[in-house]
Chain A
Amino acid sequence: MINLAIEGKRTETALVSGDRYQQYLTFLVGKDIFGINILDVKEIIEINNITRIPKTPDYIRGVINLRGNVVPVIDLSARLERQCSEITKLSCIVLIEVDVHGESQVIGALVDQVNEILDIAESNIQPTPDFGTDIRTDFIQAMGRVEENFIILLAINRILSIDELSQLQRVASSHANLALSDETSNFKKMDNSDEH
């Protein structure tokens, strides 16, 4: 378990204006810092064994055993259309409760490092810019200003939307099927892919 600073830092500007705060958990994915609303976070755990699930897209890292329940883990980096995360000592799984048609389901998000909890004043939260990021705009909830920097606040419910995860996977798996079904002709291609 990683100890988190429960009392997050408040930026000076926020203290002056004295308006309402929202707490955000910030973490590292690749080299960027992202934040998600603390209310979405259920738990943060260290990484044990992740069991791969075959025939799924890259961003589905696999499943873990969370106290007897099987929980899927999403590679946040891959989901944000970047490279797959390398697992290091600092890697963590942030468990997030997602609402699926009235039922809540726990999904894990693999991040490279968990930083801290920040209080961000509502006046410092600004709408998503239309340009300037490589991330799908609907994945961004807002931008939070912390001192002079901006942190991307993720729309975690969109990113972990079960409907989308299972849909995309269907596409991916039928691709895999197609590739496999014509195995003989694809042999070369596969051998190539094995080499790197």
Chain B
Amino acid sequence: MSDFGAALDIFTQETEELLAQMEDGLLVLEDDAHNVESINNVFRAMHTIKGTSGLFGLDEVVAFSHEVESVLDKIRHGECVIEAKLISILLNCKDHTASLIKYCLSHESEELTETLRAIGIALITQLTSLSGSDLPTSLVNSEAELESASVFSIESHQVIDDNWFITLKFRQNALRNGIDPLSFINYLGQCGQIREIQTLTPDLPPSLEFDPETCYLEFNIIFHSALEKQEIADIFEFAEDDCDIRIIPPNSKIEQYLNLLKEQEPDSHGDIEKLGEMLVNIGALTHNEVTNALRQQDFICHQESMIPKPLGEILVELQFAEQPVVAQALLKQQGVRDKTVAESNYIRVDSAKLGQIINLVGELVISGAAMRLLVERYGLSDVEEVAVGMNELVSEIRDTALKLRMVAIGETFSRFRRIVRDVGNELDKQIELVITGGETELDKTVVEKINDPLTHLIRNALDHGIERPAQRVAADKPAQGTVHLNAYHDSGHIVIQVADDGAGLNSDKILAKALAQGLVSADQELSRQEIFNLIFEAGLSTKEQANNLSGRGVGMDVVRRNIELLRGTVNLDSIEGRGTTVTIRLPLTLAIIDGFMVETEGERYIIPLSMIEECVELNAEEWQIDSIHHYINLRGEVLPYLRLGDYFHDRSRHCQSNGHRESLVVVKFGQAKVGLVVDQLHGEHQTVIKPLGQVFEQLQGISGATVLGNGEVALILDVQALIQYAVKPKGTNGHTLAH
């Protein structure tokens, strides 16, 4: 049972992925209707869903996806033109499939609800009515026949009728070898109905040279029968050596082959079937044809000593098989191959297991530190070497373990294509989504939690940001608006930007609203940045009227809270009339970081190493320290500084009285740089981040805790909050605004 449960899990995950693929494909098709690869992707997704749903007995899903699949099949064969409307319906179909699967899985063996059923029927009706204007099926497959039956008028019959088309070219020695063409044709007549027969004698020499023992005959036969190709070929078995036989199946057969190909499941070993085998298995080829074609391939290869021609091409050239069938088989083969390759490169692992590994690695890091401490304490120089080596290994293991959980953000980004498209349609706006930096990696646990805030920001950009086309044109901007999603790494953080080229925000309006709602008082002086960040306060929305997308004034505060929970920050910048950019900064991982340990007033603190620019000894004599405004002159650069001891312990001591030199740790976050004054530097420390818990949720300046080698707890500094505090002009109460 649990196995089945696990299988179901994989099924749901897989269908989700497939549906996402389908959506991506459809959205690509919207721009580029002839993208064959996308058409195939979409089709394959639907087809696989149908297949696997069948495995799990989800009949309703199978029934629905079958309908969709057949329409997609038509598209794939060019029988049905892709247009915006059809894509909309197909997108809805994708959604419906998702909800069907969800429903079926949660309500086992129950009937569908009326609404679900009604939606399904409505969608199928729409689909069939749109795709109903098919071109006649014949157009699709006729190419192959055109070639094969070059000179004949009967070719047209053969296309329309459900007949086999057989050409027999007897070799010159046929009669001498005792082959009687007539007897074969007679026998053929017994196995089915010969609708029409034409006799050709293209090689017939002038009468003088005519040799009665030589066979000059060729036949074209239109044959109606329920036999399979191999069975028909068997009729001519004895003539094989003296006759070139081509058997071209009727249209219905070709379709049957195509269907067979589609339905044929790759065998359990996941081996790649050979093209020939595949075609023989479905009956599109006879064994002999394959052998001949292979021989031909060899022959070409030997003779011209070049790269062997693909078997598929030879088969088509020799007219053993039809172009669409071969193409389909190749596609199938490719699909299996892709899958095998993908399967061999990836292992699906429960993310909880990864989490456990990372936790254990965290504990290992702490024990490693404890061991090093003991080695140092007892001065075990011979052990030290081992300890150092082990420490290096541990930190490598740590990095690898963390990388396991890293995923590219691109997948998250591309999900928004759909939202942008749908919202754009709903609001009658033309919007393009530009994605860059999709390959930027970050922790999967972070990715999952960033989805909601991002959705919100994008909806905001679409709704508030981008104007209607008319307005845009009037404002001298292109009618099509652009939303730009960007990601990149910056000093241990990932930066995600959501930018639009829309109307932008009016800072006066925000300030007025904030004043009206009592979020700020009139005497406060706020920087432009601070005013824009007011937008993240609860209850502030500049949109006059709420709609179902955004504008109710809830949300931006939730966005900020969610991001802060991830130890990240969010900032908004805007130029009125030009657009808005929201910048999110997140730590790359929530588990283990490289830290730098400092000490002040007897307490040890960890600073994330990635945020440290440099460490220098504080030289009070050389640097002009402005202790009122807290600025120092570091090599000609004006740098705000903060005494950690003062900040944390509400006490004012000065380095001079301590009698020892203090150190300055220069940290940076984004553009801002600040010097932190500490008593002592302890060096690098692998830091396992432990949450401080809800009691300390509101604590400023501390982002978490870690356990040191001696079992004590040290606090991790929230550098960004400290920078904000240090940079803020002293003497205003502006910082109370931050919360």
Contacts and interface: CB of A to CB of B under 8 A. Distances in A.
Interface of A: 48-49, 51-56, 60, 62-65, 68-72, 100, 105, 107, 162, 165-167, 169-170, 173-174, 176-184, 187, 190-191, 193-194
B75 to A, nearest CB: 49
B376 to A, nearest CB: 19
A53 B646 contact: no
Contacts of A194: 651-652
A190 B730 contact: no
Interface residues of B, number: 39
A68 B228 CA distance: 72
A191 B650 CA distance: 10
Interface string B704-721: 010100011111000000
A55 to B, nearest CB: 6
A116 to B, nearest CB: 29
Contacts of A60: 695
A146 B649 CA distance: 44
B290 interface: no
A51 B646 CA distance: 17
Contact of B649 (A54, A62, A181, A182): A54
Interface of B: 363, 366, 603, 628, 646-652, 690-702, 705, 707, 711-715, 725, 730-733, 735-736, 739
Which 7 residue pairs are nearest across A and B when measured between Cβ atoms?
Answer: A54-B648, A51-B713, A170-B698, A70-B705, A70-B690, A72-B695, A65-B707
Contact of A70 (B363, B692, B698, B731): B692
A69 B711 CA distance: 11
Contact of B731 (A52, A107, A166, A181): A181
A195 to B, nearest CB: 11
14 contacts: A49-B712, A53-B699, A53-B715, A55-B699, A55-B701, A63-B705, A68-B366, A70-B705, A71-B693, A170-B739, A173-B700, A177-B735, A178-B733, A182-B730
A135 to B, nearest CB: 21
B733 A52 contact: no
B697 A51 contact: no
Contact of A105 (B628, B650, B694): B694
B707 A70 contact: yes
A51 B711 contact: no
A170 B725 CA distance: 16
B366 A166 contact: no
A173 B698 contact: yes
B730 A183 contact: yes
A72 B730 contact: no
A46 B7 CA distance: 49
Contacts of A69: 690
Contacts of A51: 603, 705, 712-715
Given A53-B699, A166-B694, A177-B725, 18 more contacts: A49-B711, A51-B705, A51-B712, A54-B603, A54-B647, A54-B701, A55-B701, A62-B713, A68-B707, A72-B692, A100-B694, A105-B695, A166-B695, A170-B739, A173-B698, A177-B700, A181-B735, A191-B652
Contact of B700 (A55, A71, A167, A190): A55
Contacts of B731: 181-182
Contacts of B648: 54-55
Given A166-B695, A194-B651, A181 B730 contact: yes
A190 B648 CA distance: 14
Given A173-B698, A173-B700, A105 B693 contact: yes
A48 B702 CA distance: 22
A96 B730 CA distance: 42
Contact of A181 (B691, B697, B698, B733): B733
Contacts of B735: 177, 181
Contacts of A165: 695
B692 to A, nearest CB: 6
B101 to A, nearest CB: 29
B336 to A, nearest CB: 47
Contacts of A179: 650
Max chain B Cβ within 10 angstroms of own Cβ: one of A60, A65, A174, A193: A65
A180 B650 contact: yes
Contacts of B713: 49, 51, 62-65, 70
Given A48-B711, A178-B736, A187-B652, A166 B730 contact: no
